[in-house]
Amino acid sequence: MSTVSAPSPRSARHRGKPAERPPGLPGVPGAGVPWARALLVVIWSGVPAVLALWWQNTIPGSLHSTADWLTAGGRIAGLLAAYLLLVLVALMARVPWLENRVGSDVVARYHRALGEYTVALAVAHAALVILGYAWQSGTNPVSEGVTVVLDYPDVLLSAIALALLVLVGLVSARAVRRRLGYETWYHVHLLVYVAIGLAFAHEFAVGADFSTSARNRLLWSGAHLVVGVAVVIFRIGLPLRRSLRHRLRVARVVGEGPGVVSIHLTGRDLDLLRAEGGQFARWRFLAPGLWWQSHPYSLSAAPGADTLRITVKDLGASSAALARLRPGTRVWFEGPYGAFTARRTSGRRRVLLIAGGAGITPIRALFETLPGRGSDVILLYRASSAEDLVLHRELQAIARRRGFGLYPLVGPRTAGGDPLSAVQLRRMVPDLSEREVFLCGPAGMTATATEHLRYAGVPQGRIHTESFEF
C-alpha cells in the first residue's frame, strides 16, 4: 500500500487546467456507453414511427393553404409531445434493465433533456392548431382558442393537462429547481401522470390520426398500457415485495467523521437481491418524520447475505436525522440500482478509483469487491482535510490485505493547483490511459477530473461516473 499527501502546491500551481480542451468531449450525456447509446436509438426510432402515423392519415395533396400547414405542424407537434411524454414516464418507471445497464443518472439526464422538448412541443401543438383554425375561419386566434377549448370534445381537459405540463416544466427549470426543496419538486412532478390521463381522451376524440383508425387507437392504448403496467410493477410492486420479503432493519448507527454516519442494516436472504458494490438503493426509514420520504444512498461496503451498509453525510434535514435512528427501525427500499459496478470494466483488471467527499461510499464498496491484486486497483481519495477522510482505516485495511494502492489527496484546492490535474494524475498513475476509471464526488470535482482524465489520454468510454444529483 502506498499513501501520499496532496502534491506540493508550488509544483501544482501551473498545472491545474489542461492547456487546451481535449477533443471529442461528449455533448450527449452518457455517450460512449453502449447501453446508453442503444437506449437513445430506441427512443429516436419512435419519432419516424410517429411521423408515419401522421403521414398515413394525411390525404395526399391536401396541404395547400397556410392554415393547412399550421394545422399539420400542430398535429405533428402534438403526436411527438404525446410520444415523448410516454417515453419520459417509461424512463422513470425504474425498469431494472434501464437502471442497472444504462445507469440511473444517465436515464435521469435523458429524462430531463427530453422533458424540455416535450413541454415545448405540447405548447407548439396548442398554438399551431389554434392558429391554423383561426386562419382557416378568419377569426382572431384568442376567440378561436376559447371556442376550441370550450366546444371541442375533451379539449378542456387537455388544456388543463397542458397547464400542468407547463407548471412541471417551470419547476424543473434549473433556476427554480434550486430554490425548491427536493420533495416539493418531486411531488409537483407527479402531476405529469395526471396530465397524461387528462390529455388521453382528446387524442382519441379530436386527433385525426386516432379517431379514424381503430388500429392506431389499439396501438396507442397498448403503448400506454405497457408503460402504465411497468410503472405499477417496478415502482410499486417490486419494492413492496422486496421490502416485505427481506425485512430490513437498522442494526446500528456508527459515527464515521464530522456529520457522517454509517447505518448497518440486517435482513433476510439479502444475497437474492444480487446487489453489487457501487450500487445504491432508495431507502425509506419507517421512523417518525422520515417514513414519508425515500432517499438514495449507495452501499458503502460489500453486500452480505444478511447485512448491508450505507454511509450518509448530513447535507439536509433528512440525512442529518439518520444519525438518530434507533436499532430495530424497519426500512423499506427500492433497488438495488445503478450501473456503477465492476461490470463496467468489461474484464479489464487495471482500475483507477477516484473519490471526493461523500462520493467515497460507492468507491469504498468497489475497492473491496473489484477483482485483481497489487497495483491492479489504485484509489485516489480527495478531501479538504484529514478528518474528512471518512472510512480511511477500512480503506487502509483493504489496501493492506489486497496490496492495492491508496492515495489520500488532502488539502484545500485553493492551496494551489489541483491534485487531480492531468499532470498529477499521470505522475501518480503512469499507466492511466490503460485503466478503467471510476469517479464519484461533488459535481464540480467530477466535471474537472473528467476533463483532466480525457486530457491525460483516458478514452471517454473508460470513464465511469456516478452522480449524487438527479
Ligand X SMILES: Cc1cc2nc3c(=O)[nH]c(=O)nc-3n(C[C@H](O)[C@H](O)[C@H](O)COP(=O)(O)OP(=O)(O)OC[C@H]3O[C@@H](n4cnc5c(N)ncnc54)[C@H](O)[C@@H]3O)c2cc1C
H-run or E-run covering 307: strand 307-313
Asked if the bond preceding 336 is cis, omega within 30° of 0, the reply is: yes
Is the Cβ of residue 266 or residue 467 nearer to ligand X in the bound state?
Answer: 467
In the bound state, the residue with its beta carbon closest to ligand X is: 316
Is the Cβ of residue 119 or residue 301 nearer to ligand X in the bound state?
Answer: 301
Is the Cβ of residue 152 or residue 182 nearer to ligand X in the bound state?
Answer: 182
Query: Does residue 332 touch ligand X according to CB under 6 A?
Result: no
Rg (CA), the chain: 26
Query: Does residue 35 touch ligand X according to CB under 6 A?
Result: no
Q: Is the dihedral of CA 209, 213, 215, 217 positive or negative?
A: positive
Strands 248-257 and 330-337: antiparallel
Query: Does residue 361 touch ligand X according to CB under 6 A?
Result: yes
Is the Cβ of residue 64 or residue 178 nearer to ligand X in the bound state?
Answer: 178
**What is the DSSP track for 380-438?**
EEEESSGGG-TTHHHHHHHHHHH--EEEEEES-GGGSS-TTSHHHHHHH-TTGGGSEEE
Query: Does residue 12 touch ligand X according to CB under 6 A?
Result: no
The residues in 172-191 that bind ligand X, with binding defined as CB under 6 A, are 181-182
The answer to whether 153 and 206 have CB atoms below 8 angstroms apart is yes
Choices 91-99, 190-198, 220-228, 462-470 (CB under 6 A): range interacting with ligand X: 462-470
Shortest distance (Å) from residue 340 CB to ligand X: 8
Query: Does residue 469 touch ligand X according to CB under 6 A?
Result: yes
List b or e across 73-104, with b for residues whose CB sees 16 or more CB atoms inside 10 angstroms.
Answer: bbbbbbbbbbbbbbbbbbbbbbbeebbbbbbb
Query: Does residue 283 touch ligand X according to CB under 6 A?
Result: no
Choices 59-67, 199-207, 296-304, 424-432 (CB under 6 A): range interacting with ligand X: 296-304
Shortest distance (Å) from residue 467 CB to ligand X: 6
Q: Which residues contact 460 (CB under 8 A, 6 or more apart)?
A: 24, 25, 26, 31, 32, 454
Is the Cβ of residue 68 or residue 314 nearer to ligand X in the bound state?
Answer: 314
Binds ligand X by CB under 6 A, chosen from 295, 392, 413, 435? 295
Binds ligand X by CB under 6 A, chosen from 87, 130, 199, 358? 358
Is the Cβ of residue 157 or residue 281 nearer to ligand X in the bound state?
Answer: 281
CA distance 425 to 428: 5
The residues in 375-434 that bind ligand X, with binding defined as CB under 6 A, are none
Query: Does residue 468 touch ligand X according to CB under 6 A?
Result: yes
Query: Does residue 296 touch ligand X according to CB under 6 A?
Result: yes
Q: Which residue has the cell 397524461?
A: 196
Shortest distance (Å) from residue 315 CB to ligand X: 4
Query: Does residue 110 touch ligand X according to CB under 6 A?
Result: no
The answer to whether 273 and 318 have CB atoms below 8 angstroms apart is no
Q: Write the interaction track for ligand X spanning residues 302-321; mark x where CB under 6 A is met and - where it is not.
A: --------xxxx-xxxxx--
CA distance 72 to 171: 30
The answer to whether 429 and 435 have CB atoms below 8 angstroms apart is yes
CA distance 125 to 52: 17
Query: Does residue 442 touch ligand X according to CB under 6 A?
Result: no
CA nearest 383: which of 372, 395, 365, 369?
395
Query: Does residue 470 touch ligand X according to CB under 6 A?
Result: yes
Shortest distance (Å) from residue 408 CB to ligand X: 19
| Other Cβ atoms closer than 10 A to 41 | 9
Shortest distance (Å) from residue 45 CB to ligand X: 28
Query: Does residue 15 touch ligand X according to CB under 6 A?
Result: no
Residues of this chain that bind ligand X (CB under 6 A): 181-182, 280, 295-298, 310-313, 315-319, 358, 361, 468-470
